[in-house]
């Protein structure tokens, strides 16, 4: 019932149905029906389950099977009767209400189907399929906006559905593809609108590489990385020149910024350990970070986190905040800038990893740098120096370590890749913005 199919395509799994406690003879009959169903012998299984119900009228597994079988063979009213009886016995079983919603959808009784799926969601709000089916029913009722929101909630609850891979059961894959097919054009249209607005604002057409960036970001073209160690996790902008390290002399603001080191270091040292956070969260997105999950071995004091200022730290660091104003901070809603004091405790090594984007660079200002510390980017090792900056493209594989007995502290800042022109910077910022807003609207 949950996902209609023929026995040959997807054999009915009776073991998934509710189990009732019955005398031995009923258990034996049910087991016989189970075996027939597994073999795809539908009519024989139905006959045995009918006998089970005659002896045990509240046998939920029998009712569920008969409801499913009736649905798959177009006997919708019969299916409804079984499901309503099953719901009377087990009113808090979400899947029974969802199955009833599917029958109502097949009958064209969309309002009744919506009532049933809303009850299923009330009982199990985290079930992704409940929300996808609700989107389908709302769409059938002509309620486009709430349908899209339900599709988004469903896809958000199970990221595997967003891929709609062939490994999914056919019915679920078709439903996921339907949801994706309704939502994807909205995202693409919003990105195209941003590109047109940027061109109009600057009065010049976007360069070909910007168009290629948009195609990659929209998922219409694959990224072609220009170096084997470069692999940004979120955003790739082509033709910026693939090199891991940038030199201090390439930036006109370097000396002025470095001259603020004493003030910045003093504010860092005054923060106190009570404000320090573990840089890696308790539940990291990737297993490579599991050894550092929730650990202050890599500690941080964020002034900006994923583009959002952290007032309690910023107001304690006015000189640092003033110094940051001289930098070309990268921007992008929910992504950049990331600005924080990074503390690597003695004995800590970070696993090799990649940053989010090559459209931005990472700046490190050395504050407390014991000698046995280093960073490796794109296979090249460099060393921090107090009062000096290091600038690199963190979309290249990189790692860092502290083999000293004292902590290492640096200020880390996201800045724009200087290869981007001002219109391209605005394009990246606004593209990230509409992307983030889209996901907040439909997937939150």
pLDDT confidence of residue 159: 82
For residue 138, CA distances in Å to 129, 179, 265 come to 14, 12, 57
Going from the N-terminus, what domains does the chain have, and what CATH number goes with each?
14-124 (1.25.40.10), 245-422 (2.60.120.330)
Which residue has better confidence, 1 or 253? Answer: 253
pLDDT confidence of residue 53: 80
pLDDT confidence of residue 187: 96
d(CA 396, CA 377): 6
Assign 25 a pLDDT band (cuts: 50, 70, 90).
Answer: low
- Across the range 6-33, mean pLDDT stands at 54
pLDDT confidence of residue 5: 40
Phi, psi of 204 (to 5 degrees): -140, 150
Judge whether residue 24 has pLDDT over 70.
no
pLDDT confidence of residue 43: 81
Assign 141 a pLDDT band (cuts: 50, 70, 90).
Answer: very high
Judge whether residue 208 has pLDDT over 70.
yes
- Across the range 38-46, mean pLDDT stands at 77
pLDDT confidence of residue 23: 62
pLDDT confidence of residue 443: 87
Q: Which of 58-72, 187-201, 421-435 comes out lowest in average pLDDT?
A: 58-72
As given in the structure block, the two tokens for residue 415 are 């800045």
pLDDT confidence of residue 68: 86
pLDDT confidence of residue 21: 45
pLDDT, tens only, 288-307: 999 999 999 999 999 999 99
Assign 167 a pLDDT band (cuts: 50, 70, 90).
Answer: confident
Is residue 258 within 8 A of residue 365, CB to CB? The reply is yes
As given in the structure block, the two tokens for residue 154 are 């469903």
As given in the structure block, the two tokens for residue 139 are 């769409």
Judge whether residue 11 has pLDDT over 50.
no
pLDDT confidence of residue 6: 38
Secondary structure in 3-state letters for 319-354: HHHHHHCCCCECCECCCECCEEEEEECCCCECCCEC
Assign 1 a pLDDT band (cuts: 50, 70, 90).
Answer: low
pLDDT confidence of residue 28: 74
Nearest to 227 by CA among 398, 73, 76: 398
Assign 259 a pLDDT band (cuts: 50, 70, 90).
Answer: very high
Assign 15 a pLDDT band (cuts: 50, 70, 90).
Answer: very low
Nearest to 116 by CA among 96, 139, 136: 96
pLDDT confidence of residue 164: 75
Q: Considering the chain, what percentage of its residues have pLDDT values greater than 70?
A: 94
pLDDT, tens only, 342-385: 999 999 999 999 999 999 999 999 999 999 999 999 999 999 99
Assign 262 a pLDDT band (cuts: 50, 70, 90).
Answer: very high
Helix (H) or strand (E) holding 246: strand 245-246
Assign 17 a pLDDT band (cuts: 50, 70, 90).
Answer: very low
Decide: pTM greater than 0.85: no
CA 240 to chain CA centroid, nearest Å:
27
Q: What is the dihedral of CA 317, 306, 243, 251, to 10 degrees?
A: -30
The mean pLDDT of the chain is 91
Is residue 69 within 8 A of residue 42, CB to CB? The reply is yes
Judge whether residue 431 has pLDDT over 90.
yes
Q: What is the DSSP string of 90-159?
A: -TT-HHHHHHHHHHHHHHT-HHHHHHHHHHHHHH-TT-HHHHHHHHHHHHHTT-HHHHHHHHHHHHHH-H
Provide Rg for the chain, Cα atoms. 29
pLDDT, tens only, 377-425: 999 999 999 999 999 999 999 999 999 999 999 999 999 999 999 999 9
């Amino acid at each position: 019932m949950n996902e209609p199919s023929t026995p040959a395509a997807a054999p009915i799994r009776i073991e998934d149905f509710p189990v009732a406690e019955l005398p031995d003879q009923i258990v034996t009959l049910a087991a016989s029906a189970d075996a027939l169903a597994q073999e795809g012998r539908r009519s024989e299984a139905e006959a045995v389950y009918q006998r089970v119900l005659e002896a045990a009228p509240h046998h939920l597994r029998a009712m569920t099977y008969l409801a499913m079988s009736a649905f798959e063979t177009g006997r919708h009213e019969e299916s409804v009767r079984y499901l309503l009886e099953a719901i009377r016995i087990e009113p808090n079983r979400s899947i029974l209400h969802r199955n009833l919603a599917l029958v109502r959808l097949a009958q064209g009784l969309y309002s009744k189907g919506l009532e049933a799926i809303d009850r299923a969601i009330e009982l199990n709000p985290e079930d992704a399929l409940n929300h996808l089916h609700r989107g389908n029913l709302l769409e059938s009722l002509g309620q486009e906006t709430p349908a899209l929101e339900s599709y988004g909630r469903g896809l958000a609850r199970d990221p595997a559905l967003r891929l709609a891979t062939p490994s999914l059961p056919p019915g679920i894959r078709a439903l996921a593809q339907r949801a994706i097919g309704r939502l994807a054009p909205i995202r693409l249209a919003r990105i195209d609108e941003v590109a047109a607005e940027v061109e109009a604002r600057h009065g010049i057409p976007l360069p070909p590489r910007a168009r290629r960036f948009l195609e990659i970001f929209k998922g219409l073209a694959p990224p072609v990385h220009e170096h084997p160690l470069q692999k940004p996790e979120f955003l790739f902008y082509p033709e910026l020149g693939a090199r891991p390290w940038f030199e201090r002399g390439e930036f006109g603001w370097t000396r002025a910024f470095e001259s603020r080191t004493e003030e910045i270091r003093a504010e860092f040292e005054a923060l106190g350990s009570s404000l320090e956070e573990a840089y890696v969260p308790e539940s990291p997105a990737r297993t490579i970070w599991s050894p550092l999950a929730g650990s202050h071995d890599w500690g941080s004091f964020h002034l900006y986190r994923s583009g959002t200022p952290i007032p309690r730290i910023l107001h304690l660091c006015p000189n640092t905040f003033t110094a940051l104003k001289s930098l070309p901070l990268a921007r992008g809603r929910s992504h950049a800038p990331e600005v924080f004091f990074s503390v690597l405790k003695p004995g800590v090594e970070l696993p090799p990893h990649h940053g989010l984007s090559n459209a931005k660079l990472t700046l490190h200002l050395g504050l407390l740098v014991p000698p046995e510390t280093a960073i490796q980017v794109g296979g090249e090792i460099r060393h921090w120096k107090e009062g000096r900056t290091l600038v690199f493209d963190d979309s290249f594989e990189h790692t860092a370590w502290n083999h000293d007995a004292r902590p290492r502290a640096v200020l880390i800042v996201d800045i724009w890749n200087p290869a981007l022109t001002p219109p391209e910077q605005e394009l990246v910022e606004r593209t990230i913005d509409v992307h983030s807003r889209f996901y907040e609207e439909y997937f939150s």
